[in-house]
Amino acid sequence: MRLGLALGYTGEPMNEVLPAVRAAEDSGYESVWSLEEFGTDGVTVLGYLAAKTERIKLGTGILQIAPRTPTLTAQTATALDALSDGRTLLGLGLSQPWLVERWHGRPFGSPVEVLREYVTIVREAIAREAPLEFDGRHYQIPYRGPDARSEPKGIKLLYPPPRPHIPIYLGTTGPRTVSLTGEIADGWLAGGLYTPEHEDVVLRPLDEGIRRAGRPASDVEIARIVDVLLDDDLDAARGEVRQVLASYLGPKGAGVTNVHFDQACEMGFESEAQKIRELFVAGKRREAAAAVPDALVDAYALIGPLPRIVDRLAAWKESRVGTLVLLTRDVEVIEAAAQALR
């Protein structure tokens, strides 16, 4: 199992971020990943890090596809690949309906169809084998609408990219999009309640997609971003994670499937999940968080004193996760994790 570092970058001065990245590279980490919601974008910081690092791979975890055309994403990925001498890992995802609609002002659309078309176009644009033309339900290149003002003739990316293929990771959670990931992606930024002890629950749709495509499981690299909280007060650390998990398990909307809730039930936490949901929906958020069981908290995140965090890596090493991505800035944790896996 390899290690990665997730930045969680929200605009802090680079002198607070760069020591962690350099510690990761010096310790042999394979990759560093940007995160993108509605703060900083997921590319700019990696462009900076491309100039400040030499070996570590640079991953977008994830770029939201709603505000970007697939051709712009192809341009961005090839530019970053040129700046980094071929170290780009392109993580893409749908994000969440509320974020797409309330921040980007875009419709969420049909996730599986949109993702499939998007990945196809990005790959064809980067491969640069022929002038780009695509006629799909959601994307049409060239544009041929009634108000088109130019000849509908495909064009190529202006310059040859460093590589004709940049690995594409999909950040997906729902069964249908995870299944699509197994079918078409180079890697999976695993969503949901992925834990070593219950990985069969979240891997089932991924393996269905892999089988449908006739691929070996090794074709799809699994990367999991894990929250890390270094704290000698284990109860305090658990309290922080409980709030996160309650916000995942608690929401209930008409006609909307809560994948995290369903997964928790399959993992053997059905009664606890029901209680969390009842409290959360009733507006009792503090009580809902308190109802999250220790067993789920401990399986989900790396928390507590340093020896406890390091010991927990053994369980992840036995899982199918190929790259465990630690969400931390703590150099002590970064170095100790690498030492433990040598």
Phi, psi of 6 (to 5 degrees): -100, 130
Q: What percent of the chain has pLDDT over 90?
A: 94
* Neighbouring-strand partners of residue 187: 169, 221
What is the model's pLDDT at position 97?
86
Phi, psi of 158 (to 5 degrees): -60, -40
What is the model's pLDDT at position 338?
98
What's the CATH number of domain 2-228+305-340, 3.20.20.30, 1.10.760.10, 1.25.40.10, 1.20.120.550? 3.20.20.30
Average pLDDT, the chain: 96
- Total residues belonging to the chain: 342
Two tokens, residue 243:
């709030």
Rounded distance between C-alpha atoms, residue 167 and residue 291, angstroms: 40
Q: What confidence tier does 121 reach under pLDDT thresholds 50, 70, 90?
A: very high
Rounded distance between C-alpha atoms, residue 128 and residue 214, angstroms: 26
Cβ atoms of 240 and 302 within 8 Å: the answer is: no
> Is the confidence at residue 254, as pLDDT, over 80?
no
Residues 146-197 pLDDT 10s: 999 999 999 999 999 999 999 999 999 999 999 999 999 999 999 999 999 9
What integer is the mean pLDDT of 49-61? 97
> Is the confidence at residue 255, as pLDDT, over 80?
no
Q: Which strand (E) or helix (H) includes residue 246?
A: helix 234-249
What is the model's pLDDT at position 176?
96
Residues 331-341 pLDDT 10s: 999 999 999 99
> Is the confidence at residue 13, as pLDDT, over 90?
no
What is the model's pLDDT at position 96?
86
Residues 266-316 pLDDT 10s: 999 999 999 999 999 999 999 999 999 999 999 999 999 999 999 999 999
Per-domain residue ranges of the chain: 2-228+305-340, 232-304
What is the model's pLDDT at position 84?
98
Of 241, 311, 321, 325, the residue nearest 21 (C-alpha): 325
Rounded distance between C-alpha atoms, residue 209 and residue 228, angstroms: 30
DSSP 108-147: ---HHHHHHHHHHHHHHHHHTSS---EE-SS-EES--STT
Q: Which strand (E) or helix (H) includes residue 15?
A: helix 14-26
